[in-house]
Amino acid sequence: VGAKSATKKKLIDLGIPSPHARALAFDRTLEQVKDLKVDQIGQILGVSTEVADEILSLIHEKQHSISLRTKFSHALTRLSLAVDDLVLNGTEDTRRIDAAPLIYQHSASAIPSFTGSYESTDEALLDALNLIAVEWGLGPGVAASLLFHIENGTTLVITGTDFHQTSLATAAQEMADAEYLTSDDAQILSDHSYMLPGKARPIQVGDKVGCACIGSEPKKSYSYRPRSCSGRSSNPVDDYRWPSSRKEQIGTVTYSWRFDNLFDVTFSCGTRFKVHVKHMVKVLSSDRSDVGWPY
């Protein structure tokens, strides 16, 4: 007895958040889930009748009401503007943070910069995110929504926000508690977080990929032009295409290059090629479970 994986996957594909999908799929087939009434769904998930009714609409692949979509869209816009306002206030309208003094102030083991001090870029970004959260007193929901990159080792540049279904409710409540958002807006976003489209995870090491088959064959000038002697290509999209001899084969991403959106793709025979991300597409595999960042 447990959550039926096929049922759970179908419910997630319909736009139902993973925790709700797991609860509904517990010892139930998809047909049994479709037979549930609004009050039963509310009892299983511990949600209001209104929310249960919207989830039932998703299960039966019905469209959300225009009124509810409009309310949700407006509340989401106000949340985005509120977080943006918080960023502008915290950076004096520059969207840039000099993390050097913060590293020594908040880190137990001070490091000179975020570049070259970590085993992976993901670890550096996560540490930088935690630093921002501590300095500004951000909750995990709002912190997870920030999009940023690191310049010159210690300068954090915040470029925008990106909310995910699993953290939207938390972010909305945190902003309401800080009086950046009304309680009504926070409630709408919390109750209907499933209306936010799920984010596709970028290609990463371990993914199964196939040929995207976009565009035509490379021009002759590119086919026979020698590569630059430097380590970087001047035209990576054309220089690193999917190998024509393996257009029908599936490969595995075995390495992610730091620049130019390039990946090493290894095939079953052991042959490895460097391919640009525009020439590959992620293939669903039963041994992977793709969920959105940061959960």
pLDDT above 70 as % of the chain? 78
Residues 177 and 219 occupy one common structural domain: no
For residues 252 and 250, give the distance between their C-alpha atoms in angstroms, rounded to a whole number.
7
pLDDT at 79 over 90: yes
Question: Cβ(171)–Cβ(217) under 8 Å?
Answer: no
Residues 253 and 168 occupy one common structural domain: no
The position carrying tokens 């889930």 is 33
214 vs 122, higher pLDDT: 122
Residues 86 and 147 occupy one common structural domain: yes
Is 72 contained in some domain? Answer: no
Rounded to an integer, the average pLDDT of 171-190 is 93
Interval 204-251: pLDDT, tens: 888 888 887 644 454 443 443 444 444 555 678 888 889 988 888 888
Is 290 contained in some domain? Answer: no
User: What mean pLDDT, rounded, does the chain reach?
Assistant: 79
Residues 105 and 188 occupy one common structural domain: yes
Spell out the residues 6+ positions from residue 103 whose beta carbon is closer than 8 angstroms to its own: 110, 111, 131, 154
pLDDT at 63 over 80: no
Highest mean pLDDT (candidates 46-60, 98-112, 175-189): 175-189
Please tell me the predicted confidence (pLDDT) of residue 118: 65
Interval 243-295: pLDDT, tens: 988 888 888 999 988 677 899 999 988 999 999 888 888 775 433 333 333 32
Interval 20-41: pLDDT, tens: 888 999 889 989 999 999 899 9
Residue 143 tokens, joined: 């912190």
What's the total number of domains in the chain? 3
Amino acid type, 110? A
Please tell me the predicted confidence (pLDDT) of residue 201: 64
* Distances in whole angstroms, Cα of residue 12 to Cα of each of 17, 24, 40, 59, 144: 6, 11, 19, 10, 21
The position carrying tokens 């460097």 is 274
DSSP element (H, E) containing 150: strand 146-151
* Distances in whole angstroms, Cα of residue 230 to Cα of each of 92, 235, 236, 257: 40, 13, 13, 15
CATH of the domain at 276: 2.30.30
Question: Cβ(253)–Cβ(206) under 8 Å?
Answer: yes
Residue 58 tokens, joined: 């998703």
Point out which residues pair with 256 in neighbouring strands: 263
Q: What are the backbone dihedrals phi and psi of residue 270, each rounded to the nearest 5 degrees, phi first?
A: 100, -10
- Print the SS3 string covering 3-37: ECHHHHHHHHHCCCCHHHHHHHCECCCHHHHHCCC
Secondary structure letter of residue 233 according to DSSP? -
Residues 68, 74, 77, 83: is their CA dihedral positive or negative?
Answer: negative
164 vs 289, higher pLDDT: 164
In which domain, by residue range, is 106 found? Answer: 79-195
230 vs 62, higher pLDDT: 62
Residues 240 and 168 occupy one common structural domain: no
Spell out the residues 6+ positions from residue 51 whose beta carbon is closer than 8 angstroms to its own: 42, 45, 191, 192
pLDDT at 155 over 70: yes
pLDDT at 8 over 50: yes
98 vs 63, higher pLDDT: 98
Question: Cβ(59)–Cβ(34) under 8 Å?
Answer: yes
Please tell me the predicted confidence (pLDDT) of residue 151: 80
Is 37 contained in some domain? Answer: yes
Is 126 contained in some domain? Answer: yes
- Print the SS3 string covering 50-72: HHHHHHHHHHCCCCCCHHHHHHH
Is 74 contained in some domain? Answer: no
pLDDT at 167 over 70: yes
Residues 93, 114, 108, 293: is their CA dihedral positive or negative?
Answer: positive
Please tell me the predicted confidence (pLDDT) of residue 171: 93
Question: pTM for the whole thing?
Answer: 0.52
